[in-house]
Structure 1
Amino acid sequence: MKSLSEPFIYDKEESEDHRGSLEYYNTLELDPYKRFYIVTNPQKGTVRAWHGHKLETKLVRVLKGRFTIFTIKIDNWENPSKNLVPNKYEMNENSGILYIPPGYANGAINLDENGKIMYFSSSNLLESKEDDHRFESKFWNPWEEYSPEIYE
């Protein structure tokens, strides 16, 4: 059993026959999730970061293109250390689903034009807004190696 206190990838499973293929995630429980949203970045190299929650859990699934997603466990929500080291996940539409537990901030950069990524949230919109913690996108800056075009 995977620990729910650290990020991890739910592996994608597939089967195929003469009718086509089936992609599934039978180990993933969707009960705790209340909403989802899809983000499209038309321009390659768009950074969307850092967005964190003390209470909210997220699932992340790339729908189109390639993304590098970083997660970082926040040590102090009012004054986090600049020395924290982000976890790196290179994902595309063939990857599994990234689980991000409460207590983490995350950010993503799309490596292709018109990248599309889907987020599932364990909080409704009001709960999420009350638990919303944002940090400047370059506060931890693992993005430089990708030559970003846009920081949000």
Structure 2
Amino acid sequence: MAEIQRINGEYFKDHRGSLLFFNQLDMREIVRFYEIFPSDPKLIRGWQGHRTEKKWFYCTKGSFIINTVLIDNFDKPSKSLVTSKYILNDTFPEVLLVPQGHATAIRAMEKNARLQVYSNFTLEESKNDDYRFDLEEWPADWKT
């Protein structure tokens, strides 16, 4: 099973301004993207998983906590799965690649935060590969 990857971006700055770039990000698989604008930083989106779809996450404003879990059985997952926590923010350019087989739970850390999500599936394909789990299914760390 593929592992979660952090893909670091870089900055360039001169008298004309600044440039943010991700030269190490291979976008050939990406077919669509959307942006999440949470209405309340206390709300958590998830757990949502995919057997075969990959997701790339990039924070364009504010910061987010993303908890992930590798699902052992999508029909009846174990209650003892271990979660991992990642923090994305707009001050450090980073894309988080969550490969197939994982579920995510996401929370903004402040108001007006924005998170771009890229996918290698069309919307129809994604709907057929969408698995939802109760927020209490696995322990997640929401502390900053």
Q: CA deviation at 1:139?
A: 1.1
Structure 1 partner of 2:11: 14
Q: TM-score, normalised by structure 2?
A: 0.93
Contact 1:36–1:119, Cα closer than 8 Å, also in 2: yes
Larger mean CA deviation between 4-13 and 66-75 belongs to 4-13
Q: Which runs of 5+ in 2 are unaligned?
A: none
The one of 58, 82, 85 equivalent to 1:85 is 82
Counterpart check, 1:32 vs 2:29:
yes
- Structure 1 residues 71 and 81: alpha-carbon distance in aligned structure 2, compared to 1, 3 A threshold: same
**Cα distance change, pair 35–144 in 1 and its aligned pair in 2 (3 A):** closer
1:66 equivalent among 31, 44, 63:
63
Q: Aligned equivalents of 1:128 and 1:81: distance in 2? A: 23
State the shift of 1:143 in Å.
4.9
User: In the alignment, is the contact (CA less than 8 A) between 2:64 and 2:87 conserved in 1?
Assistant: yes
- Residue 10 of structure 1, CA deviation: 0.4
In 2, the alpha carbon distance for the partners of 1:16 and 1:140 equals 43
| 1:141 maps to which of 115, 118, 139 | 139
The 5 Å alignment of 1:86-101 reads 86-95=83-92, 96-101=94-99
The alignment yields a C-alpha RMSD, in angstroms, of 1.5
Shift of 1:144: 6.1
- 8 Å contact from structure 2 (residues 65, 142) kept in 1: no
How far is 1:135 from its partner?
A: 0.5
Task: Decide whether the 8 Å contact of 1:53 with 1:103 is kept in 2.
Answer: yes
Task: Identify the residue that residue 51 of structure 1 maps to in structure 2.
Answer: 48
CA contact (8 A) 1:42 1:115 kept: no
8 Å contact kept, 2:6–2:97: yes
What is the identity percentage for the equivalent residue pairs of Structure 1 and Structure 2?
Answer: 35
One-letter code of the match for 1:138?
E
Change in 2 beyond 3 A, CA 1:145/1:92: closer
Give the Å deviation of 1:36.
0.3
Gaps of 5+ in 1: 147-152
Q: CA deviation at 1:39?
A: 0.7
User: Does the CA-based 8 Å contact 1:65-1:114 persist in structure 2?
Assistant: yes
Q: Distance in 1 between matches of 2:86 and 2:42?
A: 16
Q: Which residue of 1 aligns with 2:127?
A: 129
